[in-house]
Amino acid sequence: MSNLNNTITEEFQCTVKENDYFNKNILEQLAKLQEVSAKLNKTVIRACTYCGCIEINANNKLYSYDGDINLDMIKLLDPHHISGDLCEDCKDLIEKNIGSCLYYLACISNSFDLKLNEVLLKEMNKINILGKFNIE
Ligand SMILES: [Zn+2]
pLDDT digits (tens, 9 = 90+) for 117-130: 999 999 999 988 88
Tell how far the Cα of 50 is from the centroid of ligand 1, in angstroms: 8
Tell how far the Cα of 122 is from the centroid of ligand 1, in angstroms: 35
Confidence at residue 1, expressed as pLDDT on a 0 to 100 scale: 47
Tell how far the Cα of 92 is from the centroid of ligand 1, in angstroms: 9
Tell how far the Cα of 57 is from the centroid of ligand 1, in angstroms: 16
The CATH number fitting domain 3-133, selected from 1.10.287.1080, 1.10.357.10, 1.10.3720.10, 1.10.10.10: 1.10.287.1080
Tell how far the Cα of 5 is from the centroid of ligand 1, in angstroms: 30
Tell how far the Cα of 64 is from the centroid of ligand 1, in angstroms: 29
Tell how far the Cα of 96 is from the centroid of ligand 1, in angstroms: 14
Confidence at residue 22, expressed as pLDDT on a 0 to 100 scale: 81
What are the angstrom distances between the C-alpha of 92 and each of 29, 56, 84, 88, 98?
A: 23, 19, 16, 6, 10
Tell how far the Cα of 59 is from the centroid of ligand 1, in angstroms: 22
Q: Sign of torsion, CA 43 46 51 53?
A: positive
The stretches in the chain having pLDDT less than 70 are 1-6, 60-79, 132-136
Quote the longest CA-to-CA distance of the chain: 55
Reported pTM: 0.81
